[in-house]
Each structure stands twice: as C-alpha cells, then as structure tokens.
Structure 1
Amino acid sequence: MDLPRIDTSYVGRRREATEVRAALAAGRLVTLTGPGGVGKTRLATAVAARLAPGFGDGAVFVDLTELRDGALLPDLVATRLGLHNRSGRPALRLVLDHLRGRALLLVLDNCEHVVDEAAAFAAAVLAECDGVTMLGTSRQSLGVAGERLLRVPSLAVPAEDVASSPAESARYDAVRLFVDRAAAIVPGFELTAGNAPAVVRICRHLDGLPLAIELAAARLRSLSPRQVADRLTRHLPLLTAGPRTAPERQRTLRATIDWSFSLCSPAEQAVWLRASVFAGTFDLAAAEHVCAGPGVAPEGVLDAVDGLLDKSVLVREDHGDGVRYRMLETLRERGQELLEGTGERRLVSARHRDWIDRLTASADANWVGPEQLSWIDRLRVEQANVRAALEWSLTEPGEAGAVLRIASRLDEYWTFFGHSLECRQWLDRALAATSSDHPDRPRALAMCALHAVWHLDLDAAMRRLAEAAELAEPRDELLHALTSYVRALAAQISTDAGAADLAAEAAAVFRAHGDVRRELHPLWIFGVSTGYRKGDIAEGRRALRRMLELCEARGETRYRAMAQFGLAYLEVERGDVELSERLARESLRNLMQIGAGSGTAYLLDSLAWIADRKGEHVRAATLFGAAATLWRAIGSAPEIAVSGPHRAHRTSTLAVLGEERFGRAFAAGRAMSGAEAARFALGEAAPAAGARPGSLTGRQWQVAGLVAEGLSNRDIADKLVISQRTVDTHVQHILDKLGFRKRAQIATWFTERR
C-alpha cells in the first residue's frame, strides 16, 4: 500500500467514512468535494488505509498538488505506481496497460487545478481497467459518467441553544478535534467547565472547518481558549466582509488564514509568502536560499520556519536523517495570492528556479562518485520542485533558456527512473521557445536526441542530431563525441554493426578530455557490441573491465551495475557461466541500492539464461516469470530488448520442462513481488510451489473458476452480466499471469488450488 506519510488520524467522520465506503462498494469512481480545509484529503487517506487490504493490489495515493502542468498527470501516476517508461508510448497508455487486470484502489488527491486532465484520466481508467476503483478529492466534480459525488461537510458544532458543558460539548466532532489538537500543543489540555464555552465559541465562529480549527488550536501555545475566542470574534467580521460572491465557509476559512497571518511576525509572514513557490516539500537549505530577502536575513529563516511550524502553517516530514517541510495547499494558495500583491512573485520564483539550477548542476558534476546514491534520493524528493522550476521558466518571458541548461543535465537519472519522455518534452518546449543561436541549444538538441533514442523514436533523434551538428562549433570535440555516442546507442538498438565503431570513437574523445562519466556508456556499447555481435569476446571483456575499474575507483554504483551486467551478458553466452552468475548477482545487488528500475528486468532475464545454461530449468522458468512482470512495468518486452538470448534460452527451458511444468514455474515467478523476485534471483529464497490465488484479482479468480466449470467466454459474460470482450480480456490476463497458453491449463490450475 502506497499512502502518504502524513498524520492520517482524524476525529469523528465515522458517518462520512461509512458513506464513502458504501459509495465505493457501489461504484468505481467516488469524488469527495468541498471547500479547501474541510478535510477531504484526511478523510480519503483514512478510508483508503481501511479499504486497502480488501484490494488484491492495495491502494496507491497520488497527490496532484505538485503538478503545474496537467499534461503530466499520467506521468505522475506512473511514478507512484513504480513504472519506468522505456517504450516511448504515452504515459497514459503505460499506466492503463499496467492497471488492466489489477485490483487496486487509486486515490487522486486535489484534482481541482487539473480537473480536465483528471477527468480524462479517470474516464480512461473506468473504460479499460475494470478492477480499479478510484477515490478523488476536489473542490469541484470531475464530471465523468458514473461518478458518485459526496460532499464533505464541516464538522458538527453545538447549536447556539446547546449548553456548553464539557460532556455535552465533547459530543461534537469540531470540539473533539480542537481538544485533540490543543492537547498536542499544550500537554494535559482537557475540556473543562471553565474553558468549554470558549472552545465552543471558537468552533462556531470557524463553522466547523477542520483546517481553521487546527490553525486556531495552534494559538494555544501563547493564548488561552478565551483569548483565542475573543480575538476571533473581533477579527472575523472584518475579514469576512471580503468577496461577497464567495461561499460563507470559504470566506470564513480565508478569514481564519488571514487572522493567522496577521498574528505572525513580519519575518514569518515573509517566509510564508516566499515558501509558497515550493511544490511538494523543501528543506532548510532551500528555504534559506529562496525565502531570505528584505526583512529576513538567511540566518533568520530557521527561526521563521520554526515559528510557522508552531502555528501549523508548515508541516514537518522526516526523510531519512533529514527534515523537510510541506505547506498545506490552502495555505500555499493564499500565500501565493499575497505574494503576488507584494510584487515579489517574479523575483522569488526566479530564486526558486536558480536554486534548482544550482542543485541539478551540483548533482550533475558529482554524478559519478560515492555520493551518487545520496543524489538519487535527493533528486527523487525534489522532483516536484524541478518540475515547478522548469514550468515557471517556460511560462515566464525570457526564461526558457534555463530549461535548455537544466533539463540537459542528469540524463542517467531521467532515464533510469523512466522519465526520458518527460525530459524530452521539457527540452522540446524549450527548444521551441528559444532562438536558434542560443549557446545551450546544440547540447540540448543532442540530449533531446538521446532521450528520443531511449524510447525508440529513432527518426526524431536523427533529426535532432543533424540540427545539433549544424550548430556545433567545429572545434567542439566533446559535443561531436556526444552526438557519436547517441548515434552508437541508436545503432545498437537497431542491431546495426556500426554501433561498435561509433562508440569507440566517442569513448576515445571523452577519454582524451578526461571525461570519465561520458566515457562509461560508450565503453558498454562497444564492449557488448564487439563481444556479442562481432564475437570478439576478448576485446569486449577489455572494454567492460575498463568501465568496471573506472567505476570502482570512483565509488560509482549505476554504471558499475551496468558493467557487471555487460560482462555477465558476454560470459553466459560464450564464456564462464559461473562467473556470469556472480557478476549478474553483484549487478543486481548494486541496482537494488538505487531502487528497482529498468535494469532489474534485464538482470532477472539474464539470470534465467544462466539457470538454463546450468541445467536449472525450473529456476529459469521462474525467473522468466519474475522478469515478465518487470518488463511489463517498464512498457517493454524481452523480445525487443534482448531478443536473441531470451528467445534461445526460453525455448530451451520450455523444451526441457514441457508446457505444463514451465507454466507452473513461470506463474510462481509472476506471482512474486519485486522484493521477493530479487531475493529469489540472489539465491536468498525459494519460490512458492505455484502461483498463489492472490496473484489474480477477485474478478479474475471468479472467471478462472467459471473456466474450470467448462463455461465458454460468452457463457461467462452472460452469467456475470458483463461484455464478452471484458471476459476475453480477463482470460488473457489470467493466461499471462499464470504463464499458460490454453484454457485447459487454467482449469487444471484452479481445480488444484480450490
């Protein structure tokens, strides 16, 4: 289950939670609506946590607040699902293919600012993925057919004529929330006969809005309940006299936010406004760079942040051994409105972009080294801020050139985590928005071509390379070497014999200039192409061993894993199979430090080849099954990526085991989680005896049972009152998951496990 690391406790809401669960049981799309601060996210998170165990594939939470460009919504969902797009297909198609046949609760939080894109995405999931149920939160409906709307009300407050005794007051959710949050700020705080009337007054004035109540409770650090109530009584009438067109509750919330703002020190106010430009989370170093300025010295930012944490304007999140901060969306929106009014918006946004520029430059310069894993972790938590900085630069006149520079960095990071298509889109937009003589254009064109190659758009890549060559200075040897490298990669993907020569040319230039990082991948292309395609194992080994030595000398992880895989690739086909297995396992261990990515699929497949070479055919079939799940997750297939050895060893394994035994072992591999597959591949665990029933969704298990009863797809459709096309899809997914080819195999498998 992938739910946000936030406080999911909530007071009351039992009735609402019950209604949400009932609505989700009756329909596949439920949207919680209501004004900002009413508690939609907390309710959705709590319900998802309760329901997740009932879904075969759990629950996944996607916070859309970090998006500035709604077109990236499918990319963000793909990231949350752990998908790595190496196919070049649109991210939406990758997500739909992954979700089809799964039983999953997908939570889309804060849809209102990308409502059109969220609606289109939800409609596509409803149409193609009948095992997926969606829970959305938005200030407005998505407007999708089949959507069920539930308006989240404010918390119940005592009426004017209700006595304010502690026992009576505590029956109301708004009062209980205030007391709960007050006790967290003032240990030992309790509702008493002395403070109950003031607490009730506070909750009434705030109309039961949870966010407003929490902001008011935060004031108890320095005020009593009576003082808070008195100040609210004096301030809210004035503050709510604003836009009469806004609903009363929204005006009340804004008034509460503005009241909290007015009680902040000038430094806290400045940091609140300036920090509103961050997307997702941020750390203290970023806050000091972006939020310092008139009224706040860099060394004063920490005190202001501490004050905003005390006042519940910022929320603290622990990340490893560091701390990051998040601003609630409603407070961030108000901060941006107020920042716009100060005339500082452009300056602060530029400062935020410059922070990302500096961060990515440092990560790029130190990519090949012992800090690589730390940089990967850092970049992953900063992804939302990177996107925000790129989007601002593209939409602010005269700033698009920065995108050429920033998005041209860290190509290995973008590629490994499946964001090549997104990076190419940033570069395409920046190239279209900048002049032809921009100094960063040639390199940006080459990097755009590289990302196009990674998702197999080779024609577009060649066009970008041709343009880069036209603009490049004749003496710019490094740029020419970069274009040769990209051409070598394209040639290798196309099984062109010229890949080795192009890679050797690029590697030689990078070596002459002392650019170790850029020499590494050309060495890999040369080593594998020479050793596997040309059959010169000795020359291929030399290149890959040089690559491995360069990585080990610098403490590099990603390219080291790649070098080990390359050597294992050569050895399994034409060399020492035991050495091949040791290298492949070392490579997998290195990759697991980074996080499972596209390389893991290659390694599980190669370990299957090794098992076949060693005569361990059941193990080979199991590894083929485990790899199949990962190939699907990256939107690729072994028949495309490693067609020759994959086909040969799978055929060999199938011939020895026969379809039935192969199918059972393959199904056991398909049923493994990513962590289980890695442990099995490393020899640390044995597979299950066969695919678990839980490897199928509830609907698939039901269909498998009807197949076992001898019903045709048309009969199953009639019995379940669904279309025959849907049944056809279910049966195909069952066959894929279990590694079978015939319906009779499904019947046998189901009967044995029932």
Structure 2
Amino acid sequence: MLGNLPPETASFVGRDEELRLLKALLRESRLVTLTGVGGVGKSRLALRAARAAARTDHPDGAWWIELSPLRDPALLSATVAHALGLGELSGRSLDESLCEWCAERDVLLVLDTCEHLVESCRHLVGELLQAAPGLTVLVTSRQPLGCHGETVREVRPLPVGDADSDAVVLFRERALAATPQLAAAFADPGRSATAVEVCRRLDGLPLALELAGARLDLLTLEQVAARLETRFEVLADPRAAGRPPRHRTLRTAIGWSHELCEPLERLLWARLSVFAGDFDLAAARAVCAGGPLPADRVERVLAGLAGKSVVRRTVEGARERYRMLDTIGEYGRQWLGELGEESVVADRHAHWYAALARQADAGWLGPEQLDWYRRTSADHMELRTALEHLLGTDPRTALEMAGNLWFFWFCCGHLSEGRGFLERALATVPADDPAHRQGVWALGLTALLQGDLSTSLALGEQCVRAAEGSADPETRLRATYLVGVSVLMPGDADRALALTGGRARSAHAGRPYGLGRLLCQLVASYALSDLGRYEEAMAEAAELRDACAAIGDHWLRAYADYVLAVAALGLGRPGEAARHVRAMLSGKRLLHDSFGIALGLDLLGAAVAAQGDGELAARLLGTGHAWWRTVGRPQMGSPSLLALRDAGERQARAAIGDEAYEKAFHGGAESRPQVG
C-alpha cells in the first residue's frame, strides 16, 4: 500500500459504526473533519479509516501528516511536503509544488491535530482541493477548519452499557496489559459491574479509560471507583468550568492520574512537557534532571510514567523512544508553569539540541553518517523547537545551531525550513561573528538546491571575501565550493574547474579528508567530465571515492560514483557506467536523497540505452521523470544534465520505436516514487 501511514501502536476497540459512516463520507466529500475533545480517539479513528480507504479508494495511497508538534504556521507547507517526500529544487513556492503533486494523483491526505493551525490549514487545504480533483483530505481537529464544502463529524466517546460495551472492553484491555493477573477480577460479575461504573464515571473517554486502567497495577477496581466518586469534583480544574462536560471529565481523569503519581513522577511529567515530539532517554536525562531528580534516577521515574500510560514507549531496533500525548503534555505544561520552571527547562532543551547539532556537524563526514542522518531525522521536531526558542533568547546560538545543521537542510531535504531559520538568525547576528560566516555558507547551500543560483553565487562570493582573512583553509575551500558549483550548474565548467581543480585545492592547503577539499574535488571531477576530459574526470572521481571510503562517508561517495559513471559513458563503456551508477543509487537510497536518486535514474537509463535495451531504458527514464517531479525542476535546468538525459531518450527510441518507448516510459512514470 502506497503512503506513509504509521503503524497502530495499540489495539483498536469498537467504532464499527463510525468507520462505516466515515468510509461513506470520504467517498461523498472531499474534505472530512473529525472533531471532538482531546483524548476521544480522533487520531486512531482517522488512521484506521485512512488505512481502509487507501486499500480500496485511493490508488496513490494515503499520507499522514502529523501537525501536533508544529508551532510555526509558516512551516506548514514544508512539513506537508516532507511527509510526502517532496524536495524543493525549483524556484516555485512549496504551495505550488504541493498543488502540482496532488493534481496528478488520486490520494488521501490526513492532517492530524490541526486545532492550533486552523487558519493556515484552511488556506492550504483550500488551495490543494481547488487544484487537485482527485484529492481527498481527512482532518482531525478540536474545531472545524471552516472550509467551503467541509463535512464535519464529531467523534463521541465509546458507549458505556454492560460489561461487553466498547468502553469497558478498552478499559479491561488496558488494565490487563498493565496487570495480567486481573483477569479473574473482570470475570467476577460484581466486580465487572464496578468496572462498568468506572467507565461510566469517565464518560467512555478512551484516554481517561487508559489512564485509569493503567492504575490497576496499584489500586483495586473498588479503590479506583471510590476515588473517582469522592474526588471527581475536587480534582476538576476550576478554569474548565465553562468547558464542555466531557472536557472537564478528561481534565479530571488526568488530574486524578497526576495525583496518584509519586512526587518525582509529577516533576518529570511537568518537565517532559517541553518536548514537542518523541525523545530518547539521553535527552530526558539532560533536559529534565535537576534538584530532587538526579540524572541517574530519570530512567526509573520515566519507566514509572510509561507504566501509568502517561508516557508512551516505542522500540525500533536498538532505538528506544518516548512520547507524551498532546492532552497529557498540556496538563504537564500547566504544572511546569506552576513550578516556575518554564524558561529554565526550555533553555536546557534548546541547549541540549544545540549541542547535538554541533556533534552531528562534527560526525557527519565519517563512519557515523547514517546514524546521524537517522538521529537528526528522528529529532527533527525537537531541533525545530530548540531553534525557535533560541531565536528569541540567544540568537547567536540559534545561528550557530542552524549553521551546524547545514547537512540536515542540504542533504536531508529540509531546504525551505533551513533557509527560513538561517535568514532569521543571520539578521540578528553581526557579520564579523564566526557563526555568521558558517550561516551564510549554509544559506548558500539551501539556495543552491532550490535552484536559486544567482543567490547561491552571491552568497558564495560573500563567503570567499570573508574567508580571505581566515587562517582555516577549510573555510576557504568551502566558500570556493559554493562559488564553483553555482557557476557549474548553469554550464560554466571552465570557471568551475579553475576555481576547484587540483592546483586551486593545493593552494588552499586543506586537510586531505576535509569537507571543503572533498566538495571541491567533486565539482572539479564533474567539470572535467562536462568538458569531455573523461580520463581526468575518472581519476579525480576515483580519488574522491577512495577518500570517502576511507572515512566512511556515503553521501559524497555516491556522487563520486555518479561522476565515474558519467565519464565511463562518455568513454563508450556503458556497462561500466551502469555498474557505477547502481552503486551510486544504493548510497543515495540509504540517505533517502531524492535529488541523487533522480540524477542516478537518468544516468542509468542513458547507460542501459547505450547497451541497446531500449525498453528498460525507457522505464528507467520514466521512473526518473517521476522522481524529478517530487524534487522540482527536472535536471535543475542544467545543460549537461539535460543533454545526458535527452541522449538516453534518443537511443532508447531508436532501439524500440516511439510507440514502445512511450508505453514503457509511462509505465516507469507510474511507479509512484516515495522516500521512506
């Protein structure tokens, strides 16, 4: 099934009638919004409905966009684009790219948790629906978007009737998950009636039921019922007096769970609310330890919160992550304010992730590159939250952090977001600050891949001027790379080679395995290939590949393989070219580099066409075309990239004829590429 729907993390109870109705609504209406109080189960219902709809009604799949961690409305389009695997390699706005992508597909988009972004979501959804007749949008929100044609369905709590009603089944499942020996208690008719009463007191709200069920590891059913009876009004938040009764019920259930926590668990609960998304144990220790909660006790206290369903724990391979549901996090943030710790915990959070960005920058070009790719991707929302905080409290550290994340913006597909953070930070930090130079260079990289070559060239020249007084040759080489690649892409290979060739690199005396030197060598090797000096290009690219292999780099090594393939093809050795480009594609898939994959497929198609297999070449070129449409302007408008791709098409057409070519090409183009 196409798309990116997340796995269901817990069993799904009931909702049969709602699912049938929702299935019909999604066929009748192009915009359906599920509303309801926090904790009522909107997201779970949407996920189950989306999975069913994708199998039967949307051949281009269902795509899940989680918006709860997003605080800046300006990043909405970038968040949606990233979830869809769309890059940003053209001068068009992201909204235009999203409209074009959706216009060609029969697809379901699920925007989860939109209540804090209603105005922005209303605008974007309206544009997408107008541009894309095959698009259906499913929204979860505590309030409707207010779009024309929107169908709103309120999600109600689970029904509470007898011992077999949905609410009681969910309560029993969560209780038995925490305490399996309770099976006998639920089998007893008298105690089963008590369970029904507990569920009734909790209004059948799923989150409240889960919290109460988890407490049966310490309390009996009767004790839970008694506490609810005596403390229901006492625990109610007086500020919630004007809210709907079920909202007050949930607040009471969360407050009751909070009261039953140990003092250190309450403290950790409050401090954990600073995290926007999921986090690991190391981050929890660094951010939340202090005072009565020492770092060596955080793991035990965190495990206690997970056992009480306050925090959810997930394990993927060797990685263990934690997350707090939005409604529970909101309660924690109120307590954090009562404790007077909001600013100090936010500062700890921001500086932890700023330090993580420094470590990632240092470790990117080396054997831990894949690990840093995975880690920064997993911590994306926390990095974003940290940058937003630092921009308001410590702009210099914000700029340093944004500059250290150059690889995240440039190599991992977050160009608009990175450009926005860098521009905001650069505007507040003096030009003579060392962090300013790194920030300008990182900004130039984002402009480069967005196809804004005039800006990337101007920023590169600014970096060159700033580096003239630097004693660090790597700073000069990085600046040279930015200028060199900015003139190479439009077609000035002679100037690019003069800037980045071996003599120029030697003059800068950079480290053999330094990033700046290796980037310049990449530009020089490609410029040589553009100039038809294929043997020299292969020598440069082979040296670059060996250097990357020596340090454990994947990202640059894949581009070295690409140049080797281009040069081999130019020398009339298409079989060798195909081997090199397949190695390149393997490396690019490891890092989900859409731009690199699109480049590689064009080149592989040309190599296969030169070997005489026109049908396979056409399919590869069609698949490459589909990938280019996910990243923006095909071939970035580069004359050499366009010429290589067109040569492959001509050879493939000559081999099998126009009709067969078109059929195979469109078959490849319908492969619906996606980045995992």
> What is the TM-score normalised by the length of structure 2?
0.94
- Show the counterpart of 2:68: 65
Question: Does 2:307 correspond to 1:305?
Answer: no
Among 518, 521, 537, the alignment partner of 2:519 is 521
In structure 2, how many angstroms separate the alpha carbons of the residues matched to 1:382 and 1:500? 38
Question: Does 2:631 correspond to 1:634?
Answer: yes
**CA shift for structure 1 position 607:** 0.9
Change in Cα spacing, 1:175 to 1:639, as seen in structure 2 (3 Å) is closer
- Show the counterpart of 1:173: 166
In structure 2, how many angstroms separate the alpha carbons of the residues matched to 1:433 and 1:211? 44
Among 571, 574, 589, the alignment partner of 1:574 is 571
Tell me which moved more, 536-545 or 466-475. Answer: 466-475
- Show the counterpart of 1:747: none
In structure 1, how many angstroms separate the alpha carbons of the residues matched to 2:219 and 2:160? 22
Question: Does 2:11 correspond to 1:9?
Answer: yes
Change in Cα spacing, 1:369 to 1:536, as seen in structure 2 (3 Å) is same
**CA shift for structure 1 position 285:** 0.9
CA contact (8 A) 1:8 1:45 kept: no
Q: Structure 2: give runs of 5+ residues left out of the alignment.
A: none
CA contact (8 A) 2:205 2:250 kept: yes
In structure 2, how many angstroms separate the alpha carbons of the residues matched to 1:171 and 1:65? 33
**CA shift for structure 1 position 532:** 2.1
CA contact (8 A) 2:175 2:213 kept: yes
In structure 2, how many angstroms separate the alpha carbons of the residues matched to 1:180 and 1:65? 27
CA contact (8 A) 1:68 1:391 kept: no
CA contact (8 A) 2:87 2:413 kept: yes
In structure 2, how many angstroms separate the alpha carbons of the residues matched to 1:224 and 1:473? 74
- Show the counterpart of 2:127: 124
Task: Give runs of aligned pairs for residues 166-315 of structure 1, distance below 5 A.
Answer: 169-187=162-180, 189=183, 190-240=186-236, 242-243=238-239, 244-315=241-312
- Show the counterpart of 2:653: 654
CA contact (8 A) 1:449 1:464 kept: yes
Letter in 2 for 1:608: G
Q: Structure 1: give runs of 5+ residues left out of the alignment.
A: 159-168, 679-754
* Identity across matched positions, percent: 35
Aligned residues: 664
Task: Give runs of aligned pairs for residues 147-546 of structure 1, distance below 5 A.
Answer: 147-158=150-161, 169-187=162-180, 189=183, 190-240=186-236, 242-243=238-239, 244-394=241-391, 396-397=392-393, 399-465=394-460, 467-468=462-463, 474-476=469-471, 477-496=473-492, 497-504=494-501, 507-508=505-506, 511-514=509-512, 516-533=514-531, 535-546=532-543
- Show the counterpart of 1:701: none
**CA shift for structure 1 position 12:** 1.8
In structure 2, how many angstroms separate the alpha carbons of the residues matched to 1:202 and 1:486? 65
Change in Cα spacing, 1:556 to 1:470, as seen in structure 2 (3 Å) is closer
CA contact (8 A) 2:653 2:661 kept: yes
- Cα displacement string for residues 118-150 of structure 1 (whole angstroms, at most 9, x for unaligned residues): 111111111011111111100011011010000
Letter in 2 for 1:658: G
Tell me which moved more, 620-629 or 220-229. Answer: 620-629
- Cα displacement string for residues 422-472 of structure 1 (whole angstroms, at most 9, x for unaligned residues): 211110011123344444112211221221122122333344345545655
**CA shift for structure 1 position 92:** 2.1
Change in Cα spacing, 1:437 to 1:254, as seen in structure 2 (3 Å) is farther
In structure 2, how many angstroms separate the alpha carbons of the residues matched to 1:127 and 1:199? 49
**CA shift for structure 1 position 634:** 1.0
In structure 2, how many angstroms separate the alpha carbons of the residues matched to 1:619 and 1:176? 54
CA contact (8 A) 1:9 1:46 kept: no
In structure 2, how many angstroms separate the alpha carbons of the residues matched to 1:147 and 1:333? 28
Computed over aligned residues only, the root mean square deviation of the Cα atoms, in angstroms, reads 2.1
**CA shift for structure 1 position 624:** 0.8
In structure 2, how many angstroms separate the alpha carbons of the residues matched to 1:203 and 1:639? 59
- Cα displacement string for residues 605-626 of structure 1 (whole angstroms, at most 9, x for unaligned residues): 1011112222222221121111
- Show the counterpart of 1:93: 96
In structure 2, how many angstroms separate the alpha carbons of the residues matched to 1:466 and 1:532? 23
> What is the TM-score normalised by the length of structure 1?
0.85
**CA shift for structure 1 position 513:** 3.9
In structure 2, how many angstroms separate the alpha carbons of the residues matched to 1:249 and 1:359? 41
Letter in 1 for 2:173: D
Question: Does 2:9 correspond to 1:18?
Answer: no
Change in Cα spacing, 1:192 to 1:33, as seen in structure 2 (3 Å) is same
In structure 1, how many angstroms separate the alpha carbons of the residues matched to 2:179 and 2:654? 71
In structure 1, how many angstroms separate the alpha carbons of the residues matched to 2:583 and 2:508? 27
- Show the counterpart of 1:622: 619
In structure 1, how many angstroms separate the alpha carbons of the residues matched to 2:123 and 2:504? 44
In structure 2, how many angstroms separate the alpha carbons of the residues matched to 1:513 and 1:378? 27
Change in Cα spacing, 1:251 to 1:669, as seen in structure 2 (3 Å) is same
CA contact (8 A) 2:5 2:62 kept: yes
| 3-state secondary structure, aligned to 1:282 | coil
In structure 1, how many angstroms separate the alpha carbons of the residues matched to 2:171 and 2:72? 36
In structure 1, how many angstroms separate the alpha carbons of the residues matched to 2:93 and 2:149? 25
CA contact (8 A) 1:86 1:418 kept: no
